[in-house]
Amino acid sequence: MIYSELTRRYFEHAACAGAATGADWFRGEAGSRERGTWVQFDLQVPSAEHGGAVRSVRFLAFACPHVIAVCQWVAEQASGLALEARLPQNVQALRARFEVPVEKLGRLLVVEDAWGAAAGAAILRRNA
């Protein structure tokens, strides 16, 4: 498969890859290794009195280069994003930006679901 320059750049330099833990980190995951795509996002979200927006993002992925590139881009773009927001761009826009074949759309939905799970975990804690 031929990957776009953007996909190659983000895949080869996935500086946000890795897990993070701590009191202000929230984890969400989606997909499965057995199905070929699994993604985990760890979002650092300080308390509401300190802004409550996403401060930092880490990710782990068992996935193709397209998904790893998209996860890296999302991690870089998400700083300052409100928890209630979905991904920095919708799945169709991400598919176009990274030139992801339409048959891989389901893999990008796994990215969206993992993001939603992590943001949901942070929202639950904030509202507790």
Query: What confidence tens digit (pLDDT) does each residue in 52-67 have?
Result: 789 999 999 999 999 9
> In sequence order, what are the residues at sequence separation of 6 or more whose Cβ sits closer than 8 angstroms to the Cβ of residue 16?
57, 58, 59, 71, 72, 75, 76
pLDDT given at position 49: 64
What pTM, to 2 d.p., does this model score? 0.94
pLDDT given at position 67: 98
45: nearest Cα among 19, 27, 26: 26
User: Which domains are present in the chain?
Assistant: 5-127 (3.90.1010.10)
**Distance separating alpha carbons of residues 67 and 39, to the nearest angstrom:** 9
